[in-house]
Amino acid sequence: MEKVKQKDLILYSGLIILGLAAPYLFSAFKVQLTYLCVLIVLAMTWNLQGGEMGYNSFGNILFYGLGMYLTASVQVGMFFPLAEWTESGGEKTFVHTTAQYFQGIGVGLLVSAIIPALVAGAIGYAILGLRGHYFAICTLGLGIAAGEIAGGIEIIGAGQGFTTPPFPAEIVDVEARGKFFYFLSFFVLVLAFVFVKYIYGSRFRLILNAIRDNEDKAEAMGIQTMKYKIVGWMVSAFFCGLAGGIMGGLIGYIDSTDVAFDGREMGVFMVLMAILGGKGTLWGPIIGATLFHFFKEGLWTFILGWQYVALGVLIVVIVIYFPEGLMGWLREKYPERFGEVIDEKDRKSQVELK
């Protein structure tokens, strides 16, 4: 046991050092690296309820978009009238000072994590009572409805979009903006990882798995399934909101359906990444997100215009031929690496039965 822990320690410290050094090593790719961190957070937290709990949600984009709008609104609204800001659109009549900018984004991110979690808690009792595909379709509807409704609300820019406050001009270092957002997203990633890792070692995960495998039985065993389902969804919402807030600041412009409640991109990406890596594993979504991001960034520019066709085909191929994901495939191939012992006699007898 000692040895394994030491191995883990080396792995984690290596990853953290790599993460901290990454913006200096690959300084041209800071934006892509930030994206990667956000994608990993989204995939990991989607997996928590899609993979562990068995509630395949298409609607986590709701919390992502909510977080994005909340961060930007708080950041502006703390110092200036929000309506005038959105009305002036791209032309800036108000300028944040450096201190105001960082105060704003700090408070904004806090709000954007807490409010989506509360929203998830509030609607959880109604929505999580749905099972299987009804849940999937309902959350899909929620995400799209949120986008359509946000596109009609005047104070957050309606259809013309919402420009988030620009990075303070007083900071002379041109690299500062990229670094700031990278380290912010990396911090959230580490936070999410530590939290998810903690959950993986706890009783909570076993309960989530029990809900996935047979919810009625779990309920009959005396587990208050609804309570745990809501908590699981709130955790997802918390991190989705944070991720959304960071992305809003990074992109600098929020559109209701193309950036914030972007069910066609982000909403599908998080599901796809988790499935690609392997649902219901700790490392699966991380590997899946990394692979997917490399694939996307590498290929997108070569197949310009055809990227959605490629994405659609990719979804179909992964879902049909690769539903267990990379980790599931590895597990099948090297079960002993995952701590599974196969009884040869038992296996043989099963083969004979067939």
Partner 1 sequence: MDFLIFKAPMLMVQASLDGILLGILFALIAYGMALQWGVMNIINIAQGDLVILGGYIAYTMYLAGIHPAWGVIVSPIIMYFVGWALYKLVINKVVDRDLFISILATFGIAIVFQQLMNFIFGADVVVAQSEYGTTMLFDNSVTLPNSKIFSAFISLVYAIALVVYMKKSRLGRAIRATAQNARAAKILGVDTEKVYAATFGINAALCGIAGALISITLTLHPYVGLPYTVRSFMIVIVAGLGNLPAVAISGMGLGLFEEFADYILGTEFRIGAVFMLLVFILVYRRFKLSKKREYLK
3-state SS, residue 283: coil
**295 touching partner 1, by CB under 8 A:** no
Candidates 148, 175, 297, 332; binder of partner 1 (CB under 8 A) is 148
CA distances (Å), 189 to each of 11, 19, 39, 44, 195, in order?
16, 10, 9, 9, 10
Which residues have C-beta within 8 Å of that of residue 86, sequence separation ≥ 6?
154, 155, 156, 157, 162
Instruction: Report, in Å, the least distance between residue 324 CB and partner 1.
Output: 11
DSSP 8-state symbol, 29: G
DSSP 8-state symbol, 259: I
User: With respect to partner 1, which residue has the nearer C-beta, 249 or 278?
Assistant: 278
Query: Which among 169, 170, 151 is positioned nearest to 161, based on CA atoms?
Result: 151
Residues touching partner 1, count (CB under 8 A): 42
DSSP 40-74: HHHHHHHHIIIIIS----S-THHHHHHHHHHHHHH
Q: How many CA atoms lie within 13 A of 344 on its CB side?
A: 0
Amino acid at 17: I
Instruction: Report, in Å, the least distance between residue 234 CB and partner 1.
Output: 18
What is the Cα Rg of the chain in Å?
A: 22
Candidates 83, 268, 291, 299; binder of partner 1 (CB under 8 A) is 268
Candidates 306, 329, 334, 338; binder of partner 1 (CB under 8 A) is 306
Window of 151-159, 183-191, 244-252, 290-298 that interacts with partner 1 by CB under 8 A: 151-159
User: With respect to partner 1, which residue has the nearer C-beta, 145 or 194?
Assistant: 145
**312 touching partner 1, by CB under 8 A:** yes
Element (H, E) at 254: strand 253-254
**166 touching partner 1, by CB under 8 A:** no
The rounded distance, in Å, linking the Cα atoms of 47 and 341 is: 25
Instruction: Report, in Å, the least distance between residue 187 CB and partner 1.
Output: 32
**42 touching partner 1, by CB under 8 A:** no
**134 touching partner 1, by CB under 8 A:** yes
User: With respect to partner 1, which residue has the nearer C-beta, 10 or 303?
Assistant: 303
Window of 6-14, 182-190, 238-246, 268-276 that interacts with partner 1 by CB under 8 A: 268-276
Footprint on residues 313-352 left by partner 1 (CB under 8 A)? 313-316, 319-320, 323
Candidates 18, 145, 169, 303; binder of partner 1 (CB under 8 A) is 145
The rounded distance, in Å, linking the Cα atoms of 330 and 287 is: 12
3-state SS, residue 347: helix
**260 touching partner 1, by CB under 8 A:** no
Residue 162 dihedral angles phi and psi, to the nearest 5°: -135, 120
The rounded distance, in Å, linking the Cα atoms of 74 and 104 is: 7
Candidates 1, 4, 126, 353; binder of partner 1 (CB under 8 A) is 126
Q: Can you give the binding site for partner 1, defined by CB under 8 A?
A: 56, 126-127, 129-130, 132-134, 136-138, 140-142, 144-145, 148-149, 151-152, 158-159, 216, 219-220, 264, 268, 271, 275, 305-306, 308-309, 311-316, 319-320, 323
